[in-house]
Structure 1
């Protein structure tokens, strides 16, 4: 493994949902900086006994970079282990900028995001023909602001399938904005700790989801999925339609089956 930093997506929770590439790099790592309680410690079962592990939950950006800088200078192999996929709410851009200043090479290894894990948990497909062919990943504004043009109400007005990160603690405000944006009652599912051993979820609509979330005591580490894809009629895909031709298949005549 080359002497560079590896940003690795650990997946949504279940340690087996990391990529094969990510697992192999972890097995060879000398130093791992991981994202606190959001990353399963089961990953460490595959590490060398001599691995040095740092929990970034209590660390600042400067402290993280200091560990990387020192480890890199000692020729150690460093992994920055992020939850889900590091490209989504991973705050990796600011880390990469600092590494560029230090001329430290790095690579990003993608992972399974919690929004796809949440859809898997409730066995739904975001992109149903005639229903929605667009998925919006967003969040409710909190301590971290959201650009005005990306206000949740505006995005909901598009009518696409949506996955909301970091927002379940403000479920009432979320419902209020979604209701104004969609202009109608739509299906909603809230999935807490998708793929973890204590995974749980509730399904409903904008009319009752806030109350269901409270009753289930879901307060954090949850995805809010919104849209008709959760409960609707839909058209079947042309991809497997016997009357539809494409590069790999010639259409069959509906009447003759030839």
Structure 2
């Protein structure tokens, strides 16, 4: 029962999910519906989520705010005994800028709690009806992005990751799809590697483009997909697959004898 208690001395960071309003968690919905102040990532989340808020909740779009302004709103809300929610897209642990907000709150003696959400890479797999970890094809998933205005650390280039030829989900890079393809190919993925690009996974206006490294860039341009899309790469998208041992009648394990 203690997990259900809401502490108004903390700021609650909530992962809003990938777009579909029903993909927010029950815990996230419960806290959001009681919030007095909601600071939401307006350029990213589905604004229909705000319908879950109380009629008198004060909602602020953070798209035009800087870090100091966001923290000031949080501080004022906590000082007034209000329940403050920071609503961000997908899951907080991926490209969420949570660390810097938490650090600044800590300087003010304000704690925070995080409520995880469904990431867009999970929503995209669901919409495509695929799994990233196909037995004997791929058992690992690399989540990354191409360097842009935010650089990537040394050793985390697309070329370096492509050498593994495992499943890959590439965020925040579709605007440079030709360069992504070039680097993946140079790193080791052959041009016949399956690729799927999914725009706004789980949203009502979702769009999917599928192909290979050889033709995906042209298909993305033809589809006028320029942002808010994931690039999924790997043989997990292909025709090759193997059944797992988990349900194999000839395979024994702790709960079943062959």
Whether these two folds match at TM > 0.5 is yes
Q: For residues 60 and 172 of structure 2, what CA distance do their matches in structure 1 show? A: 24
Give the aligned partner of residue 71 of structure 1.
Answer: 77
**Offset, 1:133:** 0.4
TM-superposed CA distance for 1:233, in Å, is 1.2
1:103 paired to 2:101: no
- 2:43 corresponds in structure 1 to 37
- Consecutive unaligned residues in structure 2, runs of 5 or more: 1-5
Equivalent positions of 1:16-95 (< 5 A) are 16-95=22-101
- The answer for the alignment partner of 2:7 in structure 1 is 2
Runs of 4+ displaced beyond 6 Å: none
1: CA distance, partners of 2:33 / 2:77: 17
1:59-112 CA distance string (max 9 Å, x none): 100000000000000000000001000110000000001111111121110000
Q: Counterpart of 1:150?
A: 156
What pairs up with 1:87-236 in 2 under 5 angstroms? 87-185=93-191, 186-236=193-243
Corresponding residue of 1:255: none
CA distance in 2, matches of 1:85, 1:50: 26
Q: TM-score, length-normalised on structure 1?
A: 0.96
RMSD of aligned alpha carbons: 0.8
- Distance in 1 (CA, whole Å) between partners of 2:122 and 2:212 is 20
Structure 2: distance between partners of 1:43 and 1:219: 24
Q: Give the superposition deviation at 1:232.
A: 2.8
Question: Counterparts of 1:113 and 1:182 in 2: how far apart (Å)?
Answer: 27
**TM-score normalised to structure 2 length:** 0.96
Alpha-carbon distance in 2 for matches of 1:231, 1:250: 32
2:3 maps to none
* Whole-angstrom distance in 2 between the partners of 1:54 and 1:187: 41
Report the 3-state secondary structure (helix = DSSP H, G, I; strand = E; otherwise coil) of the residue aligned with 1:179: helix
Aligned residues: 251
Contact 2:165 2:189 in 1 (8 A): no
Q: Give CA-to-partner distance per residue, 1:150-197, whole Å, 9 cap, x none.
A: 011010101110000000000000000001112412110000000001
Unaligned runs of 5+ in 1: 252-258
Pair 84,183 (structure 1): closer, same or farther in 2 beyond 3 Å: closer
* Bigger mean CA deviation after superposition, 180-189 or 198-207: 180-189
Provide the C-alpha distance between the structure 2 equivalents of 1:138 and 1:123, rounded to a whole number of angstroms: 21
Q: Does 1:239 pair with 2:246?
A: yes
Measure the CA separation in 2 of the matches of 1:148 and 1:188: 25
Please state how far the C-alpha of 1:234 moved relative to its aligned partner. 1.7
Between stretches 98-107 and 200-209, larger displacement belongs to 98-107
State the secondary structure of the residue aligned to 2:186: helix
